[in-house]
Structure 1
Amino acid sequence: MPQLESFWSNHIDGEWIPGGAAPIDVTDPATGAVLCRQAMADAADVNRAVAAARRVHDSGALKDMRPVERARLVQGMGRFIEENAGDIARTLTLEQGKPLWESRIEVSGAARFFEYYGNQADTLEGRSIPLGAGYLDFTDYEPYGVTAHIVPWNFPFEMTARSMAPALATGNTCIVKTPELTPLSNAWLARAAEAVGLPPGAVNVICGHGPEAGAALAGHPDVNLVVFTGSVPTGVAIARAAANNVVPSILELGGKSAAIVHDDADLDAFETDMRYGIFFNAGQICSAMSRVIVHQSRHDELVERAAKLANSLSVGPGIDRGTDGPTMGAMVSLAQRDRALAMVSSAGADGAKVVAGGRSLNIPGAFLEPTVVTGVSPASEIAQQEVFGPVLTVLPFRTDAEAIEIANGTQYGLVGGVFTADLDRATRAARAIRGGQIFVNEWFAGGVETPFGGVGKSGYGREKGREALFNYVQTKNIAIRMR
């Protein structure tokens, strides 16, 4: 595979430019070594990107295109990603720290979004409304226009694809503000847009600091829709900035999601759910299974299984090997690792028991052992706040009502899960758990086709599924009086 370029530019209006702010170093979290320099955009660069996207939208180059032609462009971006999957995955692993095999899953998932929404670009149809003799009335769907996508560092490539694909499929133009920690892989989406022949300015990809470039983009008067994934405080600030211009926003924020494990659950199968629910991407997933609420009769057995699983995982740099590489990679930065460590240490000081992990590795890089914590109160910090690391908290329950109360006892409501052989119990729990998506007997069940989003402080709006298409269009009604 080729080496990374030493300098990565911003992509605005079809050109690769250095940006007006001082460049930053991008480091490999698995080694701490500097990978390259990344150009940084300032407010003037944001203005230029918005102007380019506005020009393309106002020209009708995308919105007036026959939907099947737009569909082919979006699908083509997915094919470009698949054709370059090896290089993209390598870039992603180097900047984010996840093992190469995990990066390949992310890249494949990103391509799938372009395939899925490209296939639906020509399926958004209005309806005729009967108003009686002498009237013809119908609805139409129109794109918002210029869409801003402020993406997180944990799945930078797939998260951008998740919102960019439906935005383009419905005729919008896009400006992506990449995360400072993981800005590199998104350059491949700009290359994909160029490769399929999208008009210059239809897709713009910039990196910039949140208080400067991010704020300028979220509050720009010529942006028509803001999409954000990240922390609650930043989401609130972005929503405020967008609201000042009466611009809608789609927010996917934090989570403290719980799996309720009943006494009749299949714990052999549940080990796989724990493996991917909390230790995939080193637990840096908004919808991670960060809490397991288990019936007291199975508590000790589940804790033993969770500890054995955590101790069985190999942790280390994952760039040089594929499927034979480590089963968990680095966290994205030393700061993120140390934050997670501090939360585990604080829980231990309050009487919790760390039954596995809980320490950093004595090697270079931002590595944290897969960790399992038990003996905590549902009201404790580690059971209430998002760790965003490979840390599983196990809590016991006695009754179904108590399990639901614990599951719903945080400010978040992103996803949840219930594990039981009793269909009636599962259905009752699925309806009672507060969240935008509930998994029954498989964590992360579903896919691109299923809608995803939060309630409460986990945000609003829905990504994925057909529902996401309607985030990017407005309904217009046309009423004609026939004379």
Structure 2
Amino acid sequence: MTIFPKAGLARNFVAGRWVEGDGGAVIAVEDPGTQEHLTNCACAGEASLARALEGARTSFERGFLAEMPPAQRAALMLRIATEIRAIARDAGELLCRESGKTLEAAQGEFEEAAQYFKYYGGLADKIEGKSIPLGPDYVDYTVYEPYGVSAQIVPWNFPVAIAARSMAPALTAGNSIVVKSPELDPLGLALLGSALERAGVPEGAASILCGIGADLGARLVASSEVDQIVFTGSVPTGQSILRAAAETVTPSVMELGGKSAAIAFEDADLDGLMASVKTGIYFNAGQVCSAMSRLLVHRAIYDQVVERAVALSQGLSVGHGLDNPDLTPLISGQQLARVEERVQAAARDGIRVACGGKRLDGPGYFMAPTVLAEVDPASRIAQEEVFGPVLCIIPFDSEAEAIALANGTAYGLVAGVFTQDLSRAHRVAARLRAGQVFVNEWFAGGIATPFGGAGRSGYGREKGLEALYNYVRTKNIAIALNRGNGASLDRAARNGD
């Protein structure tokens, strides 16, 4: 495969060509399940970025995608989906090894990526403007135009799926893209680039580069050649990007962190709740922006829920992702140390560690599945994102208190309600400050459902039809049919234009 010209090195896809790192620089990629070196990836720098941006600008200005008939653009997106599916099995194994996630989840990421291109490809010929009535002397209408060059910075927790989530609508709308892949697990995303190449994406319309975030990422978002920024990641990094975007007044889509809460009322189906706890906080070792990191439980069932959560956690299988266990390793030693220290600090502050609380012995970056009980809602562990397999369980006594607790952080990404009372489910969901609310099943929804946050969780929406309109801007065209009679000036005066 072209991304691997020789053993031990993966190259970057830069304006239609596979290239090595600037000055031969590489980034080492390891298997977090074994701590063994997996391979090296080319490390892009200033020169590679300049070529990618030049290629993206040239491709956009020549209209390779933007002026392509929508039906042809749709066909291209469907070819990409087909090429992604063709590599899903083998590429998923590589993603499993570099990210630590289960083989099933890694292969599922490529299937999800294919679905994004299929979904948005089906919308390529449906980006329609509208006619606005201004009276018999005017014809007025709107059109949607692509921004131009979309810079996209992808996180390491779901690199392939999140990349496709932004790449597909951006390309469908006619933009060029320059994607900065995560240095911890860049290989799956490079393979996604190979699918784009085989599908026939126009030269320069897509580049995928791996590099150090503080260098390559910072250069990318600060470039005057960038017309849009799409970022998924931590709040501090997002704030840094927004400061750079402010200098160039570049529109941005921000999907940042979360400290999401599920509310379990006294009539909750506890079997269903535990199934959601298992996926909500332990899927991908809790390294999910929308993880169920807080569980708010009515006091009438609190002790029972804590007991069941502990039994669930202690019964999880733990192991390398290739074996498809319930719990996989964290992405790196640094991430493991960070998660473990957060839990130990909470314990020092008097919070009860009901189970887990420390790393597991042996090779690999494994954190024991952890349940914290009687958690103070104002504590650091309950307010800040941990990004690991750590569940905070907090009691409440009334519906109003539960809503206040759920809304009581700076974040607002997702939330959940577990109850058999449909009226209460609607009522509480309406009052939760979150971009998406799950009722009786955590992670309910799919590619067609809009996703994004409020507060420090960011702004803009990914997924669904709404996301497509993040990648276009509206232009209004007003045509005066009878000129020279002063009507336009009079109308402008009346409208305050």
Distance 2:250 2:368 in 1: 43
Aligned to 2:396: 397
Aligned to 1:352: 351
Letter in structure 2 aligned against 1:348: A
Aligned to 1:81: 84
* Structure 1 segment 26-37 matched on structure 2, within 5 A: 26-37=29-40
Choose which of 210, 227, 232 in structure 1 pairs with 2:230: 227
Letter in structure 2 aligned against 1:47: A
Asked if 2 retains the 8 angstrom alpha-carbon contact of 1:57 and 1:173, the reply is yes
The answer as to 2:154 corresponding to 1:155 is no
Distance 2:400 2:172 in 1: 44
Asked if 2 retains the 8 angstrom alpha-carbon contact of 1:228 and 1:235, the reply is yes
Distance 2:109 2:210 in 1: 20
Distance 1:268 1:190 in 2: 42
Once the two structures are TM-superposed, the CA of residue 105 in structure 1 deviates from its matched residue by 2.0
Deviations 1:154-176 (A, max 9, x none): 00000000000000110011111
Asked if 1 retains the 8 angstrom alpha-carbon contact of 2:83 and 2:195, the reply is yes
Aligned to 1:412: 411
Aligned to 2:328: 329
Aligned to 1:12: 14
Once the two structures are TM-superposed, the CA of residue 214 in structure 1 deviates from its matched residue by 0.3
Aligned to 1:59: 62
Distance 1:170 1:342 in 2: 44
Letter in structure 1 aligned against 2:431: A
Deviations 1:385-425 (A, max 9, x none): 11100111100000111111111111111011111111221
Choose which of 264, 270, 273 in structure 2 pairs with 1:270: 273
Q: Relative to structure 2, which stretch is displaced further, 42-51 or 174-183?
A: 42-51
Distance 1:295 1:270 in 2: 13
Asked if 2 retains the 8 angstrom alpha-carbon contact of 1:99 and 1:318, the reply is yes
RMSD: 1.4
Identity between Structure 1 and Structure 2 (%): 52
Give the SS at the match of 1:200. Answer: coil
Letter in structure 2 aligned against 1:396: P
Distance 2:457 2:423 in 1: 27
Asked if 2 retains the 8 angstrom alpha-carbon contact of 1:13 and 1:201, the reply is yes
Deviations 1:364-400 (A, max 9, x none): 0101111111022001111111110011110000011
Aligned to 2:73: 70
Distance 1:382 1:78 in 2: 41
Aligned to 1:453: 452
Aligned to 2:487: none
Asked if 1 retains the 8 angstrom alpha-carbon contact of 2:83 and 2:196, the reply is no
Distance 1:167 1:81 in 2: 17
Distance 1:76 1:250 in 2: 27
Q: Relative to structure 2, which stretch is displaced further, 193-202 or 48-57?
A: 193-202
Distance 1:62 1:140 in 2: 16
Once the two structures are TM-superposed, the CA of residue 197 in structure 1 deviates from its matched residue by 0.9
* Gap runs ≥5 in structure 2: 483-497
The answer as to 2:302 corresponding to 1:299 is yes
Choose which of 126, 137, 145 in structure 2 pairs with 1:134: 137
The answer as to 2:43 corresponding to 1:40 is yes
Give the SS at the match of 1:122. Answer: helix
Aligned to 1:369: 368
Letter in structure 1 aligned against 2:401: E
* Structure 1 segment 152-191 matched on structure 2, within 5 A: 152-191=155-194
Q: With structure 1 as the length reference, what TM-score do the two structures score?
A: 0.97
Distance 1:384 1:440 in 2: 23
* Gap runs ≥5 in structure 1: none
Asked if 2 retains the 8 angstrom alpha-carbon contact of 1:351 and 1:375, the reply is no
Once the two structures are TM-superposed, the CA of residue 189 in structure 1 deviates from its matched residue by 2.0
Letter in structure 2 aligned against 1:139: T
Aligned to 2:257: 254
Distance 1:364 1:185 in 2: 23
Distance 2:135 2:393 in 1: 62
Please identify runs of 4+ aligned residues in structure 1 that moved more than 4 A: none
Deviations 1:330-371 (A, max 9, x none): 110011111111111111111222122222121101011111
The answer as to 2:208 corresponding to 1:194 is no
Distance 1:474 1:251 in 2: 17
Aligned to 1:478: 477
Asked if 2 retains the 8 angstrom alpha-carbon contact of 1:278 and 1:288, the reply is yes
Asked if 2 retains the 8 angstrom alpha-carbon contact of 1:453 and 1:461, the reply is yes
Asked if 1 retains the 8 angstrom alpha-carbon contact of 2:165 and 2:462, the reply is yes
Asked if 1 retains the 8 angstrom alpha-carbon contact of 2:314 and 2:369, the reply is yes
Asked if 2 retains the 8 angstrom alpha-carbon contact of 1:150 and 1:229, the reply is yes
Aligned to 1:98: 101
Distance 2:346 2:217 in 1: 34
Distance 1:460 1:217 in 2: 20
Q: With structure 2 as the length reference, what TM-score do the two structures score?
A: 0.94
Distance 2:430 2:360 in 1: 41
Give the SS at the match of 1:52. Answer: helix
Letter in structure 2 aligned against 1:268: D
Letter in structure 1 aligned against 2:56: A
